Amino acid sequence: MAMKSVKGFFKKVFANVFKNKKDIRLGFYGPPNAGKTSLANRICKDFTGEEIGSVSKVPHETRNVQFKEKVEISYKGKSMTFKMIDTPGITTRVDYEEFLKYKVKKKEAKSRAKEATQGIIESIKWLDDMDLVVIVLDSTENPYNQVNITIIGNLVARKIPVLIVANKSDLRKAKLKKIEEAFPEYDVIGISAKYGKNLDDFYDAVFKLSKKIK
Amino acid sequence: MAKKVVKKKNRTKKINGFRIQFMPYSEIKNEGSTERIRKILDIAFTNSILILQGRLKPDEETRLIEDTMAMIGHVKNFKGIELAVISPHENQSPMEKLKYKIATRLSGADLGAITIIGPATVVREIKQDPKKIELLLTK
């Protein structure tokens, strides 16, 4: 009995030692054009000098899950290493005709739509592999969107810590309060990924939340 | 001189091409996730708006999104769905939430909720806030 509990204790200690050495898989989820890649780019550029992917006004610019390994974020004397995972925006509809409004040619629009649907499936598959997730929302849009609620519900069911980021807070139409009201059980951080506004609060929240990783 | 026959214009516009279908939860209660989602999508493929009693489990909701994406491009004119869930427990006190959770556990489903699923070709947008849901249809 005593031998068993000693064994269990060492197992736990070693498991924790190795767990701490592993990079934290930090996922960026949210609807299309909310600024997931812009935020991931901002962090990667600040700490590695390189970006993770391209950004565009055309929705579904990110159509594959993109990674950046070994991103060491140093903040207020603390340091943590993350594997950044930028995912395609999740939605329930993809219509190639939407891309035509952005002067994308029909053939390209159709292929973009096909890639976008595959990207959404890939995003959902990756939910299981996250340690911590940042939900990036456009603070000028209505947050009461079923896809947002569904994704958060899935993360809660998987016991994955969630941080909600209200991006584009620099815009006049931004309504941070509406996002806070929509998700009262979560920390909501208003930022501008484009201008790097309020990122200190963001890092602070990520570091705090990373303690809740199971 | 022949008298011109002037037809009175019908002021109400007729909306063609969609139906509303109500489905009690008992219809899918004993089905597995795959069959549940197939039933829901089959209704969306027929250009019908589905009002489902109750709601799917979180993993079934994501599965519904995955299967919807897989069908775009494979089913003619299918561009996806619009989805919304109204659940009474959103604005409840902790005690009420607990009671609701017990009732949900006993009945095996969140029967107080309503799920609305419409094909994207018919439903342009579902505007949702805690108090109401608005369905905006395509012209």
pLDDT per residue as tens digits for the range B33-43: 999 999 999 99
Query: What percent of chain B has pLDDT above 70?
Result: 81
Name the β-bridge partners of A162.
A133
ipTM: 0.86
The pLDDT assigned to A139 comes to 97
Would you call B137 an interface residue with chain A, using a CB distance cutoff of 8 Å? Answer: no
The pLDDT assigned to A213 comes to 87
What is the CA A176 to chain-centroid distance, rounded?
18
What is the distance in angstroms between the Cα of A56 and the nearest Cα belonging to chain B? 22
Out of A146-155, B82-91, B104-113, B124-133, give the one with best mean pLDDT: A146-155
Consecutive H or E run containing A81: strand A78-86
The most distant pair of C-alpha atoms in chain B lies apart, rounded to whole Å, by 81
Identify all chain B residues contacting A32, using CB atoms and an 8 Å cutoff. Answer: none
Would you call B67 an interface residue with chain A, using a CB distance cutoff of 8 Å? Answer: no
User: Which pair of structure tokens corresponds to residue B28?
Assistant: 């899918």
DSSP B35-101: HHHHHHHHHHHTTEEEEEES---HHHHHHHHHHHHHHBTTBTT--BEEEEEE-GGGG--HHHHHHHH
The mean per-residue pLDDT over the stretch B13-21 comes to: 72
The pLDDT assigned to B133 comes to 86
Per-residue pLDDT tens for B63-81? 999 999 999 989 998 999 9
The pLDDT assigned to B130 comes to 78
What is the distance in angstroms between the Cα of A197 and the nearest Cα belonging to chain B? 28
Residues lower than pLDDT 70 in chain A:
1-21
pLDDT higher than threshold 80 for residue B28: yes
The pLDDT assigned to A21 comes to 57
Residue B115 Cα distances to A48, A79, B56, B84, B126, angstroms: 45, 44, 8, 6, 12
Phi/psi of residue A11, nearest 5 degrees: -60, -45
End-to-end CA distance of chain B: 41
pLDDT higher than threshold 70 for residue B16: no
pLDDT higher than threshold 80 for residue B10: no
Inter-chain touch B69–A118, beta carbons under 8 Å: yes
Identify all chain A residues contacting B127, using CB atoms and an 8 Å cutoff. Answer: 142
CB A120 within 8 A of CB B102: no
The pLDDT assigned to B14 comes to 53
Inter-chain touch A92–B127, beta carbons under 8 Å: no
